[in-house]
Amino acid sequence: MGTEGGHAHAINTSVPSAARMYDWLLGGELNFEVDREACEKLLTIAPSSRDLAVNNRWFLERVVRFLASECGITQYLDHGSGLPTRPNVHEIAQSVHEEARVAYIDIDPIVIAHGRTSLDVNDRTRFIEASMTDTDLVVEQAAKDGFIDFGKPVAALYVSVIHCLKDAEKPGEMIQRMRARLARGSYMVICQLVSDDERVRDEVTKLMDQGTGGHWGRVRQKRDVRGYFAGLSVLPPYLADVTHWRPDDLHRRPQQTHEWLEFGGVARVN
């Protein structure tokens, strides 16, 4: 579900972390009892949360494979990358283009610790300790030593992470700042948690915000996500539940979620 909010500090195991909760929902082991307890509460509000997490991960895999194989993209910025989950973005992209470069961006302490050992693994991967809202820092660190060439197409990934931002952090403006830094022919992948059910939106937002010590944003509505794509050319199948985005034969049929879903798509920078 993404991992943003606040400033980097020592790993705090007394309150849940969105990154560690997401890890647990995906069947990972990089989580603590406090995270598991928070997930159990989440499941009472939204029983499909596990399926949603898996669907989100499969979408990320499909979209990176598409960008690498069909669009020829060899540079990636993975904002709010979260804890390592195989296949990671660089493993997918480099399986298509050995020279592909991936910069992972996150600010959660446990993600930083594991990211530097498990994601920053060769001279074509880099881990950047930064908030995704700090576009200048992200671009500066990604471009350092010519790692990412912003004069050439880049794929900026914001997959299942924007709901970690509060409205006051102005996620739409963040998207537009990054869009302005990208070369023509770049791509932006944007999706976030939405629900038509006001109760689910309110209860999940309250649970996650209180549980993570205020390091969470909110479940939004589809119209909010549509606004993020202003000025971008959205690719077919346009904006939708991510389970409907170019389904392939590599994954079993995704379970449909009912209380909420991940809504978004892929767009080209012209």
The structure's pTM equals: 0.91
* Residue 10 is assigned to a structural domain of this protein: no
Which of 250-254's residues contact partners 24+ apart within 8 Å by CB, and which partners?
250/61, 250/62, 251/58, 251/61, 251/62, 254/51, 254/54, 254/55, 254/58
Q: How far is CA 21 from the centre of its chain?
A: 14
The pairing of strands 187-194 and 261-268 is antiparallel
pLDDT value of residue 211: 81
For residue 245, the domain's CATH number is 3.40.50.150
pLDDT value of residue 11: 81
Residue numbers in the chain where pLDDT is lower than 70: 1-9, 249-257
| Cis, peptide link before residue 237, omega less than 30° from 0 | yes
* Residue 2 is assigned to a structural domain of this protein: no
* Residue 47 is assigned to a structural domain of this protein: yes
Question: Three-state DSSP class for 259?
Answer: coil
pLDDT value of residue 251: 56
* Residue 152 is assigned to a structural domain of this protein: yes
pLDDT value of residue 252: 60
* Residue 5 is assigned to a structural domain of this protein: no
* Residue 235 is assigned to a structural domain of this protein: yes
Q: List pLDDT tens digits, range 59-76.
A: 999 999 999 999 999 999
Number of domains in the chain: 1
* Residue 157 is assigned to a structural domain of this protein: yes
pLDDT value of residue 15: 87
Residue 267: what are its φ and ψ, rounded to 5°? -135, 155
Q: How far apart are CA 82 and CA 115, in angstroms?
A: 8
Which residues span the domain enclosing 64? 18-268
pLDDT value of residue 6: 39
pLDDT value of residue 71: 98
pLDDT value of residue 269: 99
* Residue 27 is assigned to a structural domain of this protein: yes
